[in-house]
Amino acid sequence: MKKTLLLAVFLLLGNIIAFAQGKDEKAVADAVEKLRVAIVDANEEALNKLTSPMLTYGHSNGLLEDKKEFIRALTSEESNFTKIELSDQTISISGDVALVRHKLAGETHNKGKDPASVKLGILMVMQKTKGEWVLLARQAFKL
């Protein structure tokens, strides 16, 4: 009887943990999608909400930006994504930190430059802060 009860408790705990993990993965995926839209729309309010004050944003050319520089570049069209598509996304969560990997295919039209296509690999670090997932770090590399 004790073994059956113990097994039932472990199964129940496993299901609860799996449900919580699945719920967090969905919340992270939703935050990534909101960030994708905010970048294309250059939505300053959304970008502020979806990024950490400690943001470090690494471009594929080696340029590093903090939160203020990242948002300014997008809202000034210095960095202007006209289209972003994400694929092959994976999400791994450990406590209040999520690692997100995906491929990005996009179209850009940066201020003073001709339109261009980009294909990048991305690693994002998201952190759960006050119940919301925000971007803490991002690094891109050319594919």
pTM, rounded to two decimals:
0.83
**The two three-digit tokens of residue 29, written as one number:** 């995926």
Task: State the CATH class of domain 2-142.
Answer: alpha beta
pLDDT digits (tens, 9 = 90+) for 12-42: 445 444 445 589 999 999 999 999 999 999 9
**The two three-digit tokens of residue 64, written as one number:** 């590093």
Q: How far apart are CA 57 and CA 38, in angstroms?
A: 15
Range with the lowest mean pLDDT among 4-18, 30-44, 60-74?
4-18
Instruction: Calculate the average pLDDT of the chain.
Output: 90
Other CB atoms within a 10 A radius of the CB of residue 113 amount to 10
Q: Where are the domains of the chain?
A: 2-142
